[in-house]
Structure formats: structure tokens, C-alpha cells
Amino acid sequence: MRYPMPHRLATTLLLCVLLVSPLAGADALFERSPGSPGPLEQPTTFLPVEDAYQLTASYRGEALILDWQIAPGYYLYQHRFKISDADHRPLAQPLQFSPGKLIYDDYYEQELTVYYTHTEVIAPLDTAADTLIVESQGCADAGLCYPPRRQQLEIDRSRGTVTIREGADLAPATSTPAPTSTAQLPLMLLFAVLGGMILNLMPCVFPVLSIKAMSLTQSHISPHGKHLHGLAYTLGIVLSFMAIAALLIALRRAGEAVGWGFQLQSPVFVGLLVYLFVLMGLSFSGLLSFGSRLMNLGQTTTQGHSLTASFMTGLLATLVASPCSAPFMGTALGFALAQASWAAMAIFICLGLGMALPLLALSWWPGLTRLLPRPGPWMEQFKAFLAFPLYLSAVWLLWVLGRQAGSDTVAAVAAGIVLILFALWLVGVRKSPLTRAVAVLCALAALALPWQTHHNGEPVHHPWEAYTEQRLEQLLSQGEPVFVNLTADWCITCLANERLALSSATLLAAFQAQHISYLKGDWTNYNPEITRLLNRHHRSGVPLYLFYPANTRKPVILPQLLTEKIVIKVISPQDSSK
């Protein structure tokens, strides 16, 4: 059954998702480890290089001993340690390193040895030179990599002392290009174009490109119209990538550790992206019609609105590409974020051009269009088939969301999908001020759900202990009062009781005042210990609530439907003796 989606409601819903999503992505800035402040409370700052890596040196037994004290959260590369004389001739004897930590480095794209906290490097001296140059390089875990640092050492062999001075004004001791060098910029621009082209093959982008490409085979589109169509699509993509680049550059300059896809670190953004993929999938399946105001997917291309639609499709393609990466793309982006602003912007522009290149080529070279299949009824079937990669992308993002924020947030987003679909159905059945108002409220509630369930990553402190037979026996043998809650996530009654009664501040305060131990047995997955306790009390399933008064092993069995008053009455001292 097909429910045409009204243009105004479609525009409202998708624009809400498109406009709110970048703001939700900014919420990733507030994702910190427990106890860390957000950027509005205290911006991330990096230590000066001389404070992050403090070097002391000494001369003993024809060897130079270099000792680095490294600030917490910072590290030094082993392969970037180099020592040479004043003429930049390296030492003949290899350096002797302490054991380090092996990590995978995104820039060098290989596993490298690094040093945290402290390291010592021994350099056997095979030269009579008393002036040496030491080169080192390090990074911060938060994302900043310092340029190579050069320090000049003056050795007093008679006293065994070494004087150190900063060598920022010295010429490089080696010819190895630093990560911030632009010598590889042309190659990285090529990588960006190739990566952008391959990005079109990702399951989140390919459906949009395919439908847009098939629209070019319609015979009534003039060559000039196709040119404008391709340019508008390209402009939408390139401007999107430029906006992303500007945001990334600004955030990294502010000290934030962000990179491509940083917005996906925000469960709010991921939840909104799930909505978008589901709605696009329903549109491709023919269950919803979005019209040509936002997406000109297979629609007639004309002057005016069609160019806006093509531009918006470019924006949409960039948005749905945000969860994806491609070969060559990672290398180019890793290089870009270590460059000057103009070089980074150039790489992002090339990435956008590469992504737009297939459709741009089809719109400008008619010969390529002839290679595409002719329009026909098969296009509707193919369009419906392309919905399934979008659905799978939504499922994958739900899995990501569960890993980030837990099953509660996944359930909230799933409920939001139902609310959005209900809003569309309601307006499709009856168009009136009341139904439209209810539909808008449902859509707003759906957009709010990811925020309501989003947590800041701080550890959750539960007022209960996990139930085990050993723990229950230990408490009963000590004569302590015990409350046992046997529950499961798939038990609606259990969840309602926990929300309405067992989580109340009054009840938890009563537990604490009367020194009652609260044990919770989770039967979501099979647990033989919980099963035995259920069988012992002639129950075949959850919920089961038991209260063991002090100095007794005979529990009081509570009813399956709880209120705060029922539980407090049972655990009160005057009733526990009955």
C-alpha cells in the first residue's frame, strides 16, 4: 500500500533531520572520559613541547645518555629519534632503545613503537665532535602531533656533563620529511579524488548515486539541463565537504581531537542518521513519496526546483556518506589534518570532486549516458531493490548506537521510528489542522528521544548487587536482611515495577536506613542459579520478589505488581516479624 507523503510534512521532517544532525554531531565534543570536562567548561589545552618532553643528558663511558621525562597523555616515537653532528652526519653506531609500547599509527599506517612516561636512549659515540644535534618527535593522545624538535647538545667530556639548548633555529638533522610537509600534497590530492570516487560504491551512498544516474537517461532532459543538473549536484557535494573541512580545522585548532566521522561519536547524531536511512529506504521501497522538493530521485529534471533538488541531493549524498570510508581516503584525510588550512581544504575539495565525478561525467559526456540501460519498468524494481542497502545501513547504525549508549537508546530510536511513521500515516489518512499538529508533535518527540536517553559516558552506580547463590547464602548466614529482585529485560511487568517502585528514592533510602542488602538477578539470559531459586519457590518465570527479614531464612514473597507503599510496608520492622 502506498501512502503519499505531503510535501510540507516531508520537507519539515527531513529538513529537521538534515539541519539538526550537524548540531548533534557537535555533541561529540562533549564525549569525554569519565570526569573530564566538556569544551564549554574547560577547553582542551596542550602543553608546550618543552614541558611535554623534558630532556636531561649525561656523558658516561664514551656514551651519551639521553633521558626523557614524558608528561601523562603524551608519547614519543622511537623511529624519530636521530642524533647527528653539527654537519648533519648521523652517528655510525646504532642507538640503543628501551622497550616501548607498540601502537598502530594512523598517519604512518603501520605499527610503531612509542614511549609513554619515560624513556632512555643510549648513543655510543664514535665521533670526537663535542656538538651534537638530537631530533625527536611526539604526539598527544588527544590528537595533536608536534613538529620534529631539534636540540643542540654541548658535551664536556672531562666533566661528563652535557648542556642542552633548544634548536628551533637549527637546520633539520635529517632529510626525512616531517608529517606536516606538503611534499606529498599532489599525491594526496590524487588519493582524495580516488577515495571520493570509491566512496560512491559504499552501501549508504550507492543507492542515491544510482537513482540520480538513471534519471539522466530520460530522453526529455536536454544536454544543457544535464550539464546544470550535474553541476548543481557537484556543488552540493563540494560545499558540504568544504563545510566539514572548515569545522574540522576550527575544532582541531581549538585543541579538539576530531577527525573524519567525528560526529558519529555522538549517539544523538547516529540516532538521527538511523531515522534518515529508514525514511530513505521506505521512499525507495515505494511506501513513501518524498516529492521533488528535497530529493530529485528519478524525477523529471527541469529548471528552477530541479536544480535545487540536485543541489540538495548532493548535500544528502555527503550526509549519508559520513559513516563510510574508502581506500585512499583514510591516507588523504590523515595527511590533510596535519597540514596548513589551505592544503587541508584542497584535499577535502578533491574528495568532494571525486565523489561527484561519476555523475558529473555522465551529465557532460552523452556517450557515457548511452552505456546506461534504457529507462523502463525495471527502474522501479531496481529502485526498490536499492532500499535494502539503506535498511542494512540503518541496522548497522543501530548496532553502533547500542555499543555507544546501550539498549535503552536503541529502543528509544526504534520508538522514534514508529512515531515518525505514525505521523506520516496520520497526515496521509486525514489532512486537518488537528492531525497535522499531532503529526508534528510526534515528529518532534521522535527527534527528542535520542537526546533524552543519551548519557555522558560516566559510570553508572547501581543500588543493587548481582544475585548469586553464594552472595545470598553469605548475607543470610550473617543474619542480614535481604531483598531479592528476579527480573529480565523482556519482562514488561518487571520493568514497570522497577520504574514505578524499586527505583524510587524513598524506597532506596529505606533500604539504606534499615541496612537491607538489595540483590538483583537478571534472567534475560539463562542463569541456572536464578532458575533454581524460582523452582524453589514454585515459580516458572519472573518476576519474583523476596524479602528475607534479619536472622531468618524464610522469605516473604511479594506480589507480582508492586508499588512503593507495598514494598515499604513489607520491609518495615513491624511487618518483618510476622
Segment 428-442, tens digit of pLDDT: 787 888 888 888 898
Average pLDDT of the residues in 397-421: 85
pLDDT of residue 575: 47
**Which H or E run contains 508?**
helix 505-513
Instruction: Give residue 107's pLDDT band: very low, low, confident or very high (50, 70, 90).
Output: low
CB 68, CB 302: distance < 8 Å: no
Burial class of 460 by CB neighbour count within 10 A (0 to 12, 13 to 18, 19+): exposed
Residue 44 C-alpha cell reads as 582542551
- The DSSP output letter for 90 is B
Average pLDDT of the residues in 63-89: 87
Q: Which residue has the cell 624513556?
A: 119
- The identity of residue 358, as a single letter, is P
- Stronger pLDDT, 10 or 98, i.e. the higher one: 98
Q: Which residue has the cell 601523562?
A: 72
Q: Distance between CA 118 and CA 71 in Å, rounded? A: 8
The region of weakest confidence among 32-41, 114-123, 227-236, 407-416 is: 32-41
Which of 73-87, 270-284, 440-454, 513-527 tops mean pLDDT? 513-527
The region of weakest confidence among 284-288, 480-484, 517-521 is: 284-288
CB 207, CB 284: distance < 8 Å: yes
Average pLDDT of the residues in 250-277: 73
Alpha-carbon distances, residue 461 vs 225, 253, 450, 464, 465 (angstroms): 61, 36, 22, 9, 10
Cα diameter, the chain: 96
549-573: b or e for each residue (b if 16 or more CB lie within 10 Å)?
Answer: bbeeeebbebeeebebeebbebbee
Q: What is the pLDDT of residues 188-209, one digit of tens each?
A: 888 888 888 887 787 777 777 7
Question: Is residue 184 scored above 90 in pLDDT?
Answer: no
Average pLDDT of the residues in 474-499: 90
